[in-house]
């Protein structure tokens, strides 16, 4: 059993307050009062300014003499106090050094005890985590679990701490189960709508839920369908453009027909009636194509000298 050191320490200081006496204080007071009475009520003018300056110098000299005496007395009066403080501070510093050494030893001991509690906590987690179908590394250790109060006197986890550990394990197990179910749902859903499932399933592991991903998949399918429909329309427009170009190339030029494949001028067809043709013919066409296709067609037509009117 430890003993209170303060009960063994007999520490008393004999201190006799010193008395400071001003010799001839009554005469000093009388002189000060007379000086104040004399100079305190004077009114100075241009005629007595030199006298005022001399009075000021004399008064300052007296004030300095009084203050110098005060400082000298204070120095001698404070000397025993300073010597006393130096001794006491020395003893105090020695005691503090020992106290700090003890504090370091206590900290080292507590760290070792904390390390033992950590080992016990980790071994307990590794022992019971398989019961919940999880890996012990998935569990995040709460620093408060390592407090001394969370262990029994035998070094085991107390009931409250053990319940907190198992509760977190249940949460992890439930989250893992949810992830596996969502991965299966998303994989099947992506396949059903014609998308590759791997990239979508991977997003479940990144924290997304099946309900959110299904909305994204639906949006992707809609965008894909719209893109395919747009491509079909572009192909149709291209085909119509090519057909229009074909018809233009097959028009009669100087009673001859130009082959659309080779560009060769063919012989007159027996079905073609040799007759005078008008100088100009009007043909109405309805063309469908992209902006680039129609621009190219217009360039070709105007290059051939054909007049075009917008209907």
Which pLDDT score, from 0 to 100, does residue 274 have?
Answer: 43
Question: Kindly report the CA angle at 63 between 60 and 67, in degrees rounded to 5?
Answer: 140
- Cβ neighbors of 34 (< 8 A, separation 6 or more) are none
The helix (H) or strand (E) run that includes residue 173 is helix 159-192
Let me know: does 161 contact 126? Beta carbons within 8 Å.
no
At residue 51 the predicted structure's pLDDT band, cuts being 50, 70 and 90, is confident
Let me know: does 215 contact 209? Beta carbons within 8 Å.
no
Which pLDDT score, from 0 to 100, does residue 53 have?
Answer: 82
Mean pLDDT across the stretch 63-72?
88
Which pLDDT score, from 0 to 100, does residue 74 have?
Answer: 87
Let me know: does 134 contact 173? Beta carbons within 8 Å.
yes
Using the predicted structure, report yes or no on whether residue 270 has a pLDDT greater than 50: no
Place of tokens 């001394």: 148
Name the DSSP class of 147. S
> Which of 58-67, 122-131, 301-310 has the highest mean predicted lDDT (pLDDT)?
122-131
Using the predicted structure, report yes or no on whether residue 288 has a pLDDT greater than 70: yes
- Taking the C-alpha atoms of residue 71 and residue 64, their distance in angstroms, rounded to an integer, is 10
Q: What is the pLDDT of residues 96-149, one digit of tens each?
A: 988 899 899 999 999 999 999 999 999 999 999 999 999 999 999 999 999 999
Query: At residue 300, what are phi and psi to the nearest 5 degrees?
Result: -65, -45
Q: Is 256 helix (H, G, I), strand (E, B) or coil?
A: strand
Using the predicted structure, report yes or no on whether residue 171 has a pLDDT greater than 90: yes
Q: Is 279 helix (H, G, I), strand (E, B) or coil?
A: coil
Which pLDDT score, from 0 to 100, does residue 279 have?
Answer: 60
Which pLDDT score, from 0 to 100, does residue 164 have?
Answer: 94
* Residue 171, both tokens: 């949460």
Using the predicted structure, report yes or no on whether residue 158 has a pLDDT greater than 50: yes
Using the predicted structure, report yes or no on whether residue 66 has a pLDDT greater than 90: no
Domain ranges across the chain? 29-129, 131-227, 234-303
At residue 242 the predicted structure's pLDDT band, cuts being 50, 70 and 90, is confident
Which pLDDT score, from 0 to 100, does residue 261 have?
Answer: 55
At residue 276 the predicted structure's pLDDT band, cuts being 50, 70 and 90, is very low
Burial class (CB in 10 A: 0-12, 13-18, 19+), 134: buried
Using the predicted structure, report yes or no on whether residue 272 has a pLDDT greater than 50: no
């Amino acid at each position: 059993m430890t003993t209170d050191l303060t009960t063994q320490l007999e520490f008393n200081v004999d201190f006799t307050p010193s008395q400071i006496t001003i010799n001839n204080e009554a005469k000093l007071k009388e002189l000060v009062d007379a000086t104040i009475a004399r100079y305190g009520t004077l009114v100075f003018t241009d005629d007595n300014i030199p006298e005022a300056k001399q009075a000021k110098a004399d008064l300052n000299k007296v004030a300095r003499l009084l203050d110098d005496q005060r400082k000298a007395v204070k120095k001698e009066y404070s000397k025993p106090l300073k010597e006393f403080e130096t001794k006491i501070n020395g003893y105090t510093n020695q005691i503090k050094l020992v106290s700090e050494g003890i504090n370091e030893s206590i900290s080292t001991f507590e760290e070792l005890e904390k390390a033992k509690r950590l080992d016990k906590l980790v071994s307990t987690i590794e022992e019971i985590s398989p019961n919940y179908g999880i890996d012990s590394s998935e569990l995040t250790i709460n620093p408060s679990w390592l407090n001394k109060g969370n262990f029994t006197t035998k070094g085991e986890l107390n009931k409250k701490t053990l319940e907190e550990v198992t509760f977190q394990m249940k949460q992890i197990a439930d989250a893992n189960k949810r992830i596996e179910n969502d991965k299966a749902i998303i994989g099947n859903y992506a396949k059903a709508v014609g998308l590759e499932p791997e990239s979508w399933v991977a997003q479940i592991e990144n924290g997304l839920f099946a309900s959110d991903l299904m909305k994204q998949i639906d949006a992707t399918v809609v965008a894909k369908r719209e893109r395919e429909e747009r491509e079909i329309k572009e192909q149709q427009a291209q085909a119509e453009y090519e057909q229009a170009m074909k018809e233009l190339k097959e028009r009669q030029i100087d009673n001859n027909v130009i082959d659309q494949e080779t560009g060769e001028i063919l012989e007159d067809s027996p079905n073609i009636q040799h007759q005078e043709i008008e100088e100009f013919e009007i043909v109405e066409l309805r063309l469908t194509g992209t902006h680039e296709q129609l621009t190219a067609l217009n360039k070709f037509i105007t290059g051939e000298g054909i007049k075009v009117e917008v209907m």
